[in-house]
Amino acid sequence: MSTATTPHAPKSPAVRTLKRLLNLPARVSDASLLLGLVLLGIGAVSWLLARRGVTAPLPTGAALRVESLFSRGGLSRVWSNPSALLTAVQLGTVFVGWFGVRVAEQTGLLRAIASRTVSRVPAWGLSFAAVFTSILTSGYGDTPLVAMPALWAALFLGVGRHPLAGASVSFAGCAAGFGANVLVSRVDVLLAQTTQSAAQAAGSTIAVSPAANYWFAFLSAFVVSGAAVFVASRWVDPLLSEVDVEAQNIPLTNPTAEARALVFSAIAAAVCLVGFGILLALPSSPLRDESGSPEPFFAGLPIAVAVLFALPGWVFGRFAREPNAQSPRVSALATGAFSDLGSYLLPAFMAALVIVALDSTNLATVLIIKTSRIFKAQRLIAMSGVPLYMILIVYTAAVNFLVPSASAKWALLAPVVVPAAVRAGHSPESAQAAFRIGDSTTNILTPVMPYTVAFFALIKRYYPKAHAGTLAALTLPFTVTFLLVWSVLFGVFFFAGLPFGPG
């Protein structure tokens, strides 16, 4: 065992509070046990609401009824569809995304990169790079939610900082900073379409484009990154200063051959990128569908990311090994990559049961439709301005614990929230911007977001004593800080009359 040597400030009251979370007894904060209790709670609430015949009107006009988890239909939907459990926690994405980074780490590639490049970066700069790169990748598939925290944990460890600091700040960028970016993503397209439909239904003639929140999201990327650096230096680093790191079995490399191995690894990475580029450019590429869209490539992005890490990692291990050492075998690298996922399987199974239970009982959808009626209240609409949007941000952050998908959640909320904003005299895109804040900030806390469980497994890899309290201690500071800072930024845009996006 070894301890991180990151410099830290004296323990503040906030750090002492987080320390108590970190040191909760495992018997009362076991992740699988808590998820089991949540599952029982879903069963009890769904049984009660089903007995009362609770329904909610869908946008199509049909009535959606709460089904009891303990009914014949409820249990059969969970019991008879085990493949739904695998889909619920995105098991394939987690395994493939984890594989590539772990291969690159096992062969010593990430340690070599860290020692020769990022070791010269100051602590705040490294934290900023971790969160900002994670924000940049967050809008382009789910793979970054698995790969980026694992990557930055290895890089932080390579320069002598605590790996969980790198993992935490990166996961905060990917998940809690999901609504911030300097590029327009596919999520922006989906949300804009829903906002446009809701605005038209409310009588608005404003055209809502995918870039409707671009100026706000662009500036948010830098503000959120700065907030993450502050959280890391003020609370996370001091919290982790007394947390031991589990020893990592990374083979020693030949220093004289390491530089040459890095060159060959860079060539391998370049070959991968050029190869993917050629396959995407060819009109008849197998990575395009019949209409010429590159959707098949993006659907398989986890595989591309795994290859981009694994192949250079294997090449580095092949050329950087000690003279008499055996060349790294692919089967051994694969075994080592997946050996750490044992701590992932049980919490993932329990989380999958919770997700499927919420879906099969219709509980989450009905509760959101029912509670979102508050935005139809004339008293709330009369508040107008920032109070209306602050309620929307907090409300969205809360219901994110039921439905973490941004597009699915906005499809339920937009038909109510956007008309309320229009009637109050505000633009549809301002409502969408407020929604993105609440939708993002609690992602790292909700157990029904599949990658929260994967992040928990990464924590246990470096700190085997970790439990649900550890996860809360490492994520709660980011959620609270992002929620406050991001809301202030929204208020600045709103009061100053700044456009949320071009046009």
| 86, 349, 351 from 43: Cα distances, Å | 21, 17, 14
**pLDDT tens, residue by residue, 29-81:** 788 888 899 999 999 999 999 999 999 988 777 889 999 998 877 777 777 77
C-beta of residue 417 within 8 angstroms of C-beta of residue 450:
no
pLDDT confidence of residue 7 = 46
- For residue 241, CA distances in Å to 2, 62, 151, 456 come to 11, 55, 21, 19
Angle between helices 143-158 and 109-116 (to 10 degrees): 60
Tell me if 174 sits within 8 A of 144, measured CB to CB: yes
What integer pLDDT is reported at residue 222 of this predicted model? 97
pTM, entire model: 0.89
For residue 91, give both structure tokens.
Answer: 């098991």
pLDDT band, residue 88 (cuts 50/70/90)? confident
Mean pLDDT of 384-413: 90
List for the chain the helix, strand, coil content (%; round to 5).
Answer: 70, 0, 25
- Residue 5: what pLDDT? 43
> Which DSSP symbol is given to 341?
G
pLDDT at 163: 94
Q: Write down the pLDDT at residue 215.
A: 96
What is the C-alpha separation between 225 and 169, in angstroms, rounded?
A: 9
Encode 151-173 in three state secondary structure: HHHHHHHHCCCCHHHHHHHHHHH
The token pair at 266 is 């860079």
CB 16 within 8 A of CB 37: no
Sign of the alpha-carbon torsion through 466, 470, 471, 474 = negative
User: What pLDDT sits at residue 501?
Assistant: 92
Pairwise CA distance, residues 12 & 110, whole Å:
33
CA distance 271 to 250: 26
Reported as a single tens digit per residue, the pLDDT across 423-470 is 888 889 999 999 999 999 999 999 888 899 899 999 998 998 888 999
Element holding 63 (H helix, E strand): strand 63-65
Tens of pLDDT, residues 126-152: 999 999 999 999 887 788 999 999 999
Does residue 351 contact residue 36 with C-beta atoms inside 8 Å? Answer: no
* Mean pLDDT for the chain overall: 86
What 3-state DSSP class applies to 57? strand
**Tens digit of pLDDT for each residue in 254-279?**
677 888 889 999 999 999 999 988 88
Q: What are 177-204's pLDDT values in tens digits? A: 999 999 888 889 999 999 999 988 877 7
Give residue 158's Cα distance to chain centre. Answer: 24
pLDDT(390) > 80: yes
Across 17-36, average pLDDT: 83
Please tell me the distance from the alpha carbon of residue 108 to that of residue 476, in angstroms, as a whole number.
Answer: 32
Q: Residue 236: how many CA atoms within 13 Å on its side-chain side?
A: 31
Is the pLDDT higher at 501 or at 320? Answer: 501
Q: How confident is the model at residue 379 (pLDDT cuts 50, 70, 90)?
A: low
pLDDT of residue 382: 63
The tens digit of pLDDT for each residue in 472-490 reads 999 999 999 999 999 999 9
| Structure tokens given for 53 | 């015949």
